[in-house]
Structure formats: C-alpha cells, structure tokens
Structure 1
C-alpha cells in the first residue's frame, strides 16, 4: 500500500462530497476511483473533467472493487452506521464526516469493528487540521499558556435549519472536537449542562448554550446559533500564564496571544493596608500575533488519512475522538431534556475492552 496509491471512493455527492473529491485528487499517494451517490447524474456533474473517476449509484459495486482500499463518507449522520460498517466489513479503511454516528452506541460498534479488522477509522473533524488549531494544540498542550482555566467558544450565523438534528448536533461538534484536540491529556470533560430554545417553532433547538465541567476545575462554554444575522467564529482559551483569542474570520490575524491576566497573591498580615488584604493582582503584558502557515485544512486532513493508512498508525482524529464528541452530545441532549441539569460525560476509556482497548 505504501508503494502504490491508495484507491479511494467518496460516498455522497451532496454538500460535502465535492470538497472531498477535490482534495482527494490533490493528495499525493491517493487515487480517486469512484464517486458514489444514489443520484448518479449528480455524481457525474460533480466529477466534471475527472474523466478517470467513475460515477456509481451502487455502494455494493464500489466496495467489491479491489482497487478501492478506502472510502470517505459524506452522507447524512443517520446512514453512517450502515455505510461505514459495510465498508469496514469489506476490508476498507474509513473516513467519515462528523459526527461519527447518530448515537454513541452506533459509534462504539464502528470503533470495535475497525479495531477487530485492523483498519483505520478516522473522523473528518476538519477544524482540527487548520493552521490555527494546530498552533493552539502545540501551545496549550506544551504548557505555553500555563494551566488551562477556561475555554469560551461562539459559533453563530444565519445558518441552515437542519431537518433531522438540532443546532447542538449540527454545529457544536466543531467546537467540541477542537477542545478535545488542544486540551492536555489530563484535562477532560466530566459533566455537561445544555440550554436551548426554539423561537421559530422549528421543532428543535435553534439556539443553544453548552457548559462543560473539566477536570482540574476548568470550565468550557459553547454558544451555537442558526438564527444570528451576524457570523461570529471566535474562541478564547484562558490560562494561568497567557490567554489566546482565535478569530477565524480575521485571516490576517487569526490568533492573538495575550500576556495579560489575573494572578492570585498571598495576603500577608491582618492590617488595614489594602496591599495586605489583596488576593489578586493584574498582569498587563505584550500581545503577540504568531504567523501561521495557512493551508487548506481539508487537504491536510486528507493527507493525514493517507499517512495513517500507509504508516499503520492512529490518525489525529481517530474513532475514539469521535466517541468522545458523541458522549458529550448525548449527555447534552439528556441535559436539555432535564431542563439544563448537569449530566455526566462518559469517558471512552471506560468502555468495554473490545471498544476502548
């Protein structure tokens, strides 16, 4: 496999499938063999000049072809279990659009099946492959901001109200996958509370807020909204030493690292002097905007999929990372049903051995 291109089939020619086609065609070590969709004409239109790529309306035909070593799935979440399981049972490596599956239980089945067969199962958590998030990952996990104290993310815009999922399941996976990618291994979600509203009568939450309790006393917050006329994509990661602001809509300065914050100081003595009673001090330092090597995130993600297959290693966004996102989403849905009560988040490491080992 490492000496010959990886034969890839993209499953789904809808919104996201064409992006996978374009980036697969541009990824060294990959050869796009098929674009599969129930609407074959739509698949042909997407392929356009890619005359060497076959359009097919049959998943069975694609999976039966020995030239196909891997599949990239861009179909609705409700179909992920069926399509991904069929691919794994056919011996194909699998890249699947977020979320991994419609439920945590279905995601566990896919992770277990991939592990039994020694196949790569990877999540298309595209934001994790942006230059900004990769820099954040190195900075936060490397201790560059000190101890993590809080994370605050806003992802709002006038978006498409989905017919099958609420705004949490549609948008929050982006923020949750980023959190899980950049946080140190000893900082993990333990409980989540969710609040949502449906002001337009869509039958599902269109505006929602998540609050995550993390180990070590840190807190994370996510605001997602389909109804905002203004698009905002910001994240603040506060640490004991530095604070980072990520504004994804500012390409000239996506990241700003502030040496500013609040430090606790010990109180000395019992006098009336304000300095002896103070327990905090304020730090004002420089702001640094690091230069980022901007590349298309989806191209980087596709290269990681190819490398994980040829090197026989787990990808950055593997099946377990998908389970972690699903565990938070399911706990958030339970919290919504319980009026916003904190609900425990399942740790995938505590799953049965055949899934978590």
Structure 2
C-alpha cells in the first residue's frame, strides 16, 4: 500500500482524500497552519495531525500539496529530498521563477512532480479531445473557450479567500485560466504568442483580475480565444474546436459543467447532440479519482506524464504572458 500525507486542509484536500481512499492509498498525516482545520480533515481520514512534514517524510511514497500556491517550495523540498513524489494543486506557483525551482528540485531528486489539472480527466473533455485527435473534424483552424460565472457566489472578500489576500493574491489569469490553457495545449499543442487584456472589478484588490480576454497564436498555425469571467451574474461555458471538416462544441450551464456535446462534420446532414451527465461538484466529480490514478500510474512506470511539473511551468508562463500583454498592450512571444 502506498502512503501519502495531505498538506493543506481546505476543501480541495477532501476531494483528494476521497480519491485516495478509493485507490487504497494510506493517508499517514495531515498538515495545516490552522490546527482546527487539520484536525477536522485528519478525523475524516482516520489519521493524525502532524506538525512538521520532516517527522513522517521518510515513511511516505508521496505527498499531496493542497496549500495556496505561495506556500509550497519548503514543503516540496522536504518531501523531495526524502525521496517522495509530489502531487500538487494548480497553479503550481504564482511566479515562473518559483515554478522553475519546483521543477529543478524534482529533477535533482529523481522524483515525479505532477500538477492537478483535474478537468482534463473528466469524461466530457476526454470525448472532445478524442474527436479532435481522431481527425474527424479535419485540420484544426480555431479553438475557443468561453466560460462565465461568479466566484464563490460573491467573488469572496479579502478575509475569506487566499486569492484576494495581500501576499497570496492570485487572479483568474494564473489561478483558474490554467485549466483552459492546459485544455488548449491538450487539443493543439504549445502556444506561440499571446495578445490579451484583463480587468478586475474590486478596487480593494487591484492585482485580482477576474475578467480575461486572450488571443492565442498556436505553433501549429491554428488560433485560439480564451474569454473568461469570475464576475458574471449569468453562468455558462463552451469549449469548441473548428476544423476544416467539422466543428465540435462542449457546452455547460456553469463555469465547469459539461452538459452536452455538439458535433457536425461535412458528412452529417444535421448536428449530432450528445447529452452528458458531467456536472462539476467537489463531492461527486470523478476527476480527482482519475487524476490521482494517473499520478500513481506515472509513479509505477517511472514517467513524468503529460501533467508534469515542466508542463505546468509552461502553462504558468502563458498566464504571465497574458498579464504582461495586458500591461503593455502588445503581443508577447513564447
């Protein structure tokens, strides 16, 4: 039986705890700066609260880092130097410099570093990806992702979310758009350049962008558009790919719901509609199980996998290119 520790006891840690139980991975301890939160999660997992990772790192095969991204390097260093693989939430870090440190540490210690782009492991996106990769819609010309909704119902305050607190502030371009960038990469490969604009709607947190428009030029010659909002009073999402012989769109009724897939090719007289039961909810979404299973498989095979730390670093660089383009009002090459 493989062993891990949960570092960070917020809501996302419970998703991983449920997945790890199904995968027969033993949770040997929980670490969090908030002792009450750590104790609550530890009780739910049938394990104990640990004060310092070094106390148990030698017993573990891996650790699960579920802290805000600003607080990961020291935990990762302790884990990796003890020979533990590391699975962390996205984004891997706030800055590319910190992301590079994490990648370098993993490579120096010969351990796997994987980042949880969990939405790529969901059935709706996997079907979209399958259709594109099959060649059914021909050569890809255009990809677009459009999603809108309200973060936490009211976008949070500086007191109830790390995303808007001084020192840990992390807006949509870095924190949430990482999923969309990862999806575009899966569909079309790497990005060549970015032209973008961002806006924030909170005067008390000017670094917190919650509206993003980005134009992507892909290295394979295709083009992409990302349009996202955390401040929309209406909810929706659409992820689509236009090819030379067809178009496929994955639609949802909320930011990350996949309710239906629409497909029409040059050979179809009418579009084909597939109803999906792929609604995103922390407690029931199987993507955390699928992502953790993939991480275990990568460990067993001795492979980094497609959600590696190095891939996550490239997505983080694109997020920063979006912000730089918004600041300078110029296209940013990658």
Query: What is the TM-score normalised by the length of structure 2?
Result: 0.86
When residues 49 and 227 of structure 1 are mapped into structure 2, their CA distance, relative to the original with a 3 A threshold, is closer
Structure whose alpha-carbon radius of gyration is higher: 1
Where does residue 210 of structure 1 map in the other structure? 214
Task: Work out the CA distance in 1 between the residues paired with 2:272 and 2:52.
Answer: 52
Task: Work out the CA distance in 2 between the residues paired with 1:248 and 1:6.
Answer: 36
Task: Work out the CA distance in 2 between the residues paired with 1:247 and 1:259.
Answer: 17
| Mapping of residues 1-357 of structure 1, within 5 Å | 5-28=1-24, 30-51=25-46, 53-63=47-57, 66-159=58-151, 160-161=155-156, 162-163=163-164, 164-183=169-188, 187-201=189-203, 202-204=205-207, 205-249=209-253, 253-259=259-265, 285-290=269-274, 296-339=286-329, 341-345=330-334
Q: Secondary structure at the match of 2:173?
A: helix
Q: Secondary structure at the match of 1:33?
A: strand
Task: Work out the CA distance in 2 between the residues paired with 1:221 and 1:101.
Answer: 24
Gaps of 5+ in 2: 157-162, 279-284
Gaps of 5+ in 1: 261-282, 346-357
Relative to structure 2, which stretch is displaced further, 312-321 or 171-180?
A: 312-321
Q: Is the CA contact (8 Å cut-off) linking 1:36 and 1:62 kept in structure 2? A: no
Residue 98 of structure 1 and its aligned partner are, at CA, apart by 0.5
When residues 62 and 255 of structure 1 are mapped into structure 2, their CA distance, relative to the original with a 3 A threshold, is farther
Q: Is the CA contact (8 Å cut-off) linking 1:12 and 1:74 kept in structure 2? A: yes
Q: Is the CA contact (8 Å cut-off) linking 2:29 and 2:48 kept in structure 1? A: yes
Q: Secondary structure at the match of 1:330?
A: helix
When residues 131 and 88 of structure 1 are mapped into structure 2, their CA distance, relative to the original with a 3 A threshold, is same
Where does residue 353 of structure 1 map in the other structure? none
Task: Work out the CA distance in 1 between the residues paired with 2:308 and 2:328.
Answer: 31
Per-residue displacement from partner, 1:10-56 (whole Å, max 9, x unpaired)?
1100131121112111114x2221121122221221233432x2222
Residue 325 of structure 1 and its aligned partner are, at CA, apart by 0.4
Where does residue 281 of structure 2 map in the other structure? none
Residue 83 of structure 1 and its aligned partner are, at CA, apart by 2.2
Q: Secondary structure at the match of 1:317?
A: coil
Task: Work out the CA distance in 1 between the residues paired with 2:137 and 2:56.
Answer: 48
Compute the RMSD of aligned alpha carbons. Answer: 2.2
When residues 288 and 119 of structure 1 are mapped into structure 2, their CA distance, relative to the original with a 3 A threshold, is same
Where does residue 282 of structure 2 map in the other structure? none
Task: Work out the CA distance in 1 between the residues paired with 2:8 and 2:37.
Answer: 10
Task: Work out the CA distance in 2 between the residues paired with 1:241 and 1:47.
Answer: 53
Q: Secondary structure at the match of 1:195?
A: strand
How many corresponding residue pairs? 311
Query: What is the TM-score normalised by the length of structure 1?
Result: 0.81
Residue 90 of structure 1 and its aligned partner are, at CA, apart by 1.9
